[in-house]
Structure 1
């Protein structure tokens, strides 16, 4: 399995799969809110629902890792302190913003606003990694992507508007996600990716439930058979996507691999249009996705071009050595 995560083709396929899974979360959560009869302004209910989802996902991953290689479950005291902080940021804080922000924006709008996390990763990677600096192509990609985010927001509202607890929360969720990505890449060096995923989901979820359960009102969440099915799918989504994502992140550059998260708003938008009544793909969404696509092409083109240049330098160097011989 490790070779698949290190191979470029394997990392790309896994990154695409994870991004599609995360994209499906937008319509699933929007439908869940309706099905479970959660009020849009009920912050506590959403914290508890998120806590249930991530606690189950974390336990599933840790349970599987126990049978696969239980020695990987154990961490040092220093690593555990990191996991507590990581769980609080990546699971607790991120999904507090995500769940409550998504309740006040459309599924399409939320999927694209969340993609701003990709740009935050690129910006942060510039300061953390010498081989992942910002270039002119990346600047163009950032401008195109942010223009797409603004265009989608404008199109959905039909006016320039911004609500802290709606659009603002979605952007804060993206920022905390980016911080979590750098934390996972920089500080979780000796922790198995599945142990990292399982512990951070479990710890973050436990914090959410400790805060939320004592304040949960009666019948704030009303489960139905469909509601349970959506929760189970959400558990699978989290366990699979996070586990695989941290596995490829361990062996690949954060800036490069995070660019594939642009697939998330595309899949989220399309799935929202299919499954959520009243949401349709309009000219604003198409324009936004076009701009975002230009952004990812620009950044990835720089990566591929560098490879070609490096290959050319290597061939020239080898040719020069042969001639000198």
Structure 2
């Protein structure tokens, strides 16, 4: 992936991630959610490591790196995917996709707390607007009747844990490449999820043997396309164009998850969810620092011309 075509890759990825919310909804209703998630993440992680092996970039982590992998993985893999899989069993794919759209804003807030990033007026306004949008989505629930569902709270925790993990990756930086760190985190995190499944879902792994053909197709497509290659593409995009511009594209993820849930799962859309969608989009563009980044870039170009 080159800088010249990174935007095409990002748009394509947002389509895949939007549809993946629907795929996960189907999977958590077809199999025991935590057991399914542990195997899906393990398969995705191994796929990343195999890819790195053929690129001659695979190596074992050091003791310190393993500590970072485990610590960050508890948020990035275990917390995020546990709350996501459980939440999707008791909320709609529409709500899940919209609430997950808050991740760039939550990442900005976490960066202010852990990295002492600067809070600008535009970021502050964006954070308020984004949280207002999620409030509308959560109050709409699955019936449009202004009732907060427990599933929406789980999805919010999934977004929060992933946002915290992004900041921790930067705070506890290592000499590992982002792809290598991602692959090992998935593998290590999958074992933690597996342990949770053994306690909470005694017959969880047995359920994975009782699926239908199309469910296994969805499983492997989600693991390889959305999780494995998806993370590699997005991480590379951050390297090429920066986190602020990459975060703006998550608004397309919101749109495609909304449309795919309505079309593929026939989930009903309510006015509260649509209002929340527009507020979250505005919040992400402003709260993630994308507008600040654009203004800084514009000022720098003007000064160079002068």
Distance 1:162 1:102 in 2: 14
Which consecutive residues of structure 2, in runs of 5 or more, have no partner in the other structure?
none
Match of 1:323 in 2: none
Distance 2:159 2:28 in 1: 21
TM-score, with structure 1 as normaliser: 0.82
1:151 lines up with 2:141 in the alignment = no
* CA positional deviation for 1:123: 1.2
* CA positional deviation for 1:79: 0.8
Q: How does 1:237-252 map to 2 (within 5 A)?
A: 237-250=226-239
Residue aligned with 2:227, SS: helix
Q: Quick one: which of 168, 176, 189 aligns to 1:183?
A: 168
- Count of aligned positions: 299
Moved more, 12-21 or 72-81: 12-21
Residue aligned with 2:56, SS: helix
Which consecutive residues of structure 1, in runs of 5 or more, have no partner in the other structure?
39-44, 317-325
Give me the CA root mean square deviation. 2.5
Distance 1:124 1:252 in 2: 21
Q: Quick one: which of 55, 70, 77 aligns to 1:84?
A: 70
Change (3 A) 1:141 1:10: farther
Match of 2:127 in 1: 142
Distance 2:12 2:254 in 1: 13
Counterpart contact for 1:30–1:107, Cα < 8 Å: yes
Distance 2:55 2:64 in 1: 24
Distance 2:114 2:236 in 1: 20
Deviations 1:170-224 (A, max 9, x none): 1111111001111223334421222112111111011211332464227544311
Distance 2:302 2:113 in 1: 28
Distance 1:254 1:185 in 2: 12
Change (3 A) 1:200 1:52: same
Match of 2:263 in 1: 274
TM-score, with structure 2 as normaliser: 0.87
Match of 1:42 in 2: none
* CA positional deviation for 1:146: 1.8
